[in-house]
C-alpha cells in the first residue's frame, strides 16, 4: 500500500515541475522571472524607461541653458549703446524721458514723478527692502536696484524730474516741452537764478512758484531788479505766514436816518 502512494506522489511532483518549467515567467500566477523574460521584455522596458528619463532630463537642462542664453542676449542688446556711470550721476529729465538699464543699475529719484516698468525679473526698493511692482510710482530719496535678469524702464511722468543713477544705463529723450532747457536759458540771461537746493542746478522746477517769486521774475523782465534790491520804501504787501492772505475788513454799515432827520433834510 505504501508503494502505490509513494509512486502517486512522485508523479504529482513531476507534473507540477513540468508545468512550472513551461509557464511564462513574470506574470501574476508566476512571480519567478525566467532568464528569457529578463533578457527580452524586462530589459527592453527598462532601457526605454531610462532613455525617456534621460531625454526628459536633457530637455530640462536644454531649456534652462536656452533661457540663460536668451537672458544674456537680451541684456547684451539692452546694453548696446548704453553708457556706464561708475559713480552716482545726476540728470534733470523732462516728461516722457526714459532712463533704462539692466541688472545692477541703481536709481534714486531726487525730485519729480517717475514710475518703473519691467516685463520679467524684479526691481528692489533697497531703502525699504521690498520688491516694486511693474508700473509703480517711485518714492523720492529711495534707492532702487534692478535685480538679476531684469531690464527696467524708468519713465518721467511729471513735467520734470531729477534722478541719480549708477551702473549701465541709457536715456531716451521724448518730444515733450523741455522746461529744464528753458530754465537753463533763463539762467544764462540772468532772469532765473534758482535756489540753494543741492540738486537739479537749484531750479526747483517741481515746486509750485509763490506770488513773490512771480513778482521777482516780472521785475527782472522789466530790468529793474537792481533798483528793487536797493529800495528802502515801505513794503505794502502783507505777509501770509499761514498761506492765506488776510481779507479786507468788512465796512461798517451806515445808520438809517430817523424820520425827523429826513424831514429836516427835505426842507433844505
- DSSP secondary structure string, 130-165? EEE-TTPBPPBT-EEEE-TT--EEEEEEEEEEEEEE
Q: Are residues 69 and 92 in the same domain?
A: no
Residue 189 lies in a domain: yes
Residue 240 forms part of a structural domain: no
Say yes or no: 38 and 90 in one domain.
Answer: no
Domain co-membership, 104 together with 42 = no
Domain that holds residue 30: 24-78
Within a domain: residue 61?
A: yes
> Do 105 and 120 reside in the same domain of the chain?
yes
pLDDT at 149 > cutoff 80 = yes
Share of the chain above pLDDT 90, in %: 31
Asked if the model's pLDDT at residue 68 lies above 80, the reply is no
CA–CA distance, 145 with 132 (Å, rounded to integer)? 10
Q: Is residue 129 part of a domain?
A: yes
Q: How many domains is the chain built from? A: 3
pLDDT for res 154: 96
Neighbouring C-beta atoms of residue 74, cutoff 10 Å: 16
Q: What confidence tier does 113 reach under pLDDT thresholds 50, 70, 90?
A: very high
Q: Are residues 162 and 105 in the same domain?
A: yes
pTM above threshold 0.75: no
DSSP class of residue 226 equals H
Amino acid at each position: 500500500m505504501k508503494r502505490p502512494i509513494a509512486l502517486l506522489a512522485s508523479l504529482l511532483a513531476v507534473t507540477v515541475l513540468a508545468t512550472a518549467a513551461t509557464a511564462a515567467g513574470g506574470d501574476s500566477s508566476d512571480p519567478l522571472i525566467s532568464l528569457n523574460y529578463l533578457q527580452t521584455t524586462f530589459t527592453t522596458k527598462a532601457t526605454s524607461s531610462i532613455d525617456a528619463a534621460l531625454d526628459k532630463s536633457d530637455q530640462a537642462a536644454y531649456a534652462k541653458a536656452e533661457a540663460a542664453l536668451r537672458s544674456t542676449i537680451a541684456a547684451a542688446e539692452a546694453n548696446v549703446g548704453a553708457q556706464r556711470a561708475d559713480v552716482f550721476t545726476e540728470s534733470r529729465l523732462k516728461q516722457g524721458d526714459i532712463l533704462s538699464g539692466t541688472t545692477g543699475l541703481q536709481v534714486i529719484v531726487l525730485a519729480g514723478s517717475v514710475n518703473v516698468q519691467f516685463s520679467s525679473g524684479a526691481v528692489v526698493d533697497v531703502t525699504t527692502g521690498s520688491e516694486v511692482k511693474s508700473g509703480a510710482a517711485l518714492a523720492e530719496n529711495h534707492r532702487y536696484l534692478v535685480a538679476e535678469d531684469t531690464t527696467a524702464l524708468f519713465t518721467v511722468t511729471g513735467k520734470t524730474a531729477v534722478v541719480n543713477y549708477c551702473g549701465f544705463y541709457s536715456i531716451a529723450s521724448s518730444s515733450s516741452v523741455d522746461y529744464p532747457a528753458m530754465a537753463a536759458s533763463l539762467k544764462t540771461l540772468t532772469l532765473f537764478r534758482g535756489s540753494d537746493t543741492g540738486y537739479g542746478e537749484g531750479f526747483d522746477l517741481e515746486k509750485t512758484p509763490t506770488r513773490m517769486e512771480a513778482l521777482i521774475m516780472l521785475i527782472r523782465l522789466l530790468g529793474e531788479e537792481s533798483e528793487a534790491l536797493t529800495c528802502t520804501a515801505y513794503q505794502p504787501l502783507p505777509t501770509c505766514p499761514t498761506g492765506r492772505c488776510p481779507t479786507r475788513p468788512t465796512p461798517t454799515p451806515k445808520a438809517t436816518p430817523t424820520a425827523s432827520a429826513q424831514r429836516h433834510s427835505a426842507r433844505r
